[in-house]
Structure 1
Amino acid sequence: KPSAYTRGNTDFIRMCENEELDLVYNATPWEWHVPICVAAMKNGKHAATEVPAAYTLEDCWQLVETAEKFKKHCVQMENCNYDRFELLTFHLVRKGMLGKVMHAECGYLHDLRAVKFDYNGEGLWRRAYSMKHNANLYPTHGLGPVAQCMDINRGDAFDYLVSMSSNSRGLQEYVAKTFPEGAPERKEQYVLGDVNLSLIKTKTGRTIMVSHDTNLPRPYSRIKKVQGTKGLVEGHPERLHIEGRSPAHK
């Protein structure tokens, strides 16, 4: 019979201390990703976490240093790396069909207004980040597959970035439309810009644009654009152009 660990929010520490486990898989609200991974590795377990793994440079280094000290793997589980179109793009890059990859565009564009106000699910914790942070809160769904295509940390690396956000209006208008006068949601203040754009330069001089938008009405998209010297792959809609093989541009 499985053991239950229900003695408060940090009872995962007791689990990591007591159980003989190979790996601890972490699918909790974001604030617990680092503490759970650290507790697992300190107690001799490998750690795997849902994204995002961490939100501060200090926490990122804590994961790295703990993994190195205790010689345990700490893996960020980015499932979008393994979607059909992302794997097709990765295969085309590896085969040289696109030539040298020079630029990519990606993102997480997902109308989460209803999710953020769902009191039976992620809304219990996810909306709070829209009140505390003005940034790209969820970059890796788009950036993970692009990083594979650009050999990030396997020959190239991110060098620096510039990031900016639009004003914040989407959640305010959603609240005004959805909740009656006097509802506590009407008193909340949101700082997350509706659209965040980040431009990344790599060590070898290539560029990446990463977008984030979870506050506005829109169809889902991760953009999925990889531009090489010989061709282009682009998603939503999915398109492929190989110079000399695809119909000429008109």
Structure 2
Amino acid sequence: MDILSVVGILLAIGALLGGSVLKGAGLSSLWSAAAFVIVIVGTTASIFIHTPPQVFKRALRIVRWTVQPPVADREALVAQLLEWSNVARRQGLLGLEGHVAEQSDPFLKKGLQMLVDGLEPEAIRHMLEIELEGEEHKDLAAAKVFEGMGIYAPTLGIVGAVFGLIAVMKNLADPSKLGHGIAAAFTATIYGIASANLFFLPIAAKLKSVIGRRSGEREMIIEGLIAIAQGENPRNIEAKLAGFLH
């Protein structure tokens, strides 16, 4: 679990609630059904129009990476690749056939199977790089869903504020309603700016970071498998992969 993300989410909520109380606005001022409909429902509608269904579904699947990113032990992965290298040197590439079924990672399993099948190193690299680029492209497109929400929300917050001010202008003859009306108008602005800068944009940035790290791990797997296919010495493979550990 990403503790920083969890703490950040709690601090974001605490900052909004605590700030409202400390400023004397009170917690009740943060709730407005009209602001919620205009900003949150409106942002959701915008992103539905903006995003293809399959991309939106993928975004919902990977949003959990914000607090629970995929865990990969790079040192253990390097050790595994070195073990396969030793097996290949002693028994040949067919000696790795028994390890294919043991792999839970589809990318690693696919690469190892191509190694066992005796494909040329460049063919393995080409196919795995296509797989990596496709996977990375889909994940980045999903991350941009939250980036898009972070763009639309503040603008819709302004729309909500304008609607609120229009309502205030209609009640200029009744001064008792002006203060409450203006306060309600700016609640929509809070919804838009706060949701974008405390949640949507940080989530997008965190997902991009996780995706970049996963791509780095995939690149390490490709380099390791290619080195095994080329029959390189395990020590040379270890030295080559050491750079990915940092």
Q: TM-score, structure 2 length as denominator? A: 0.21
Greater strand fraction, Structure 1 or Structure 2: 1
Higher relative contact order (CA 8 A, sep 6+): 2
Q: TM-score, structure 1 length as denominator? A: 0.21
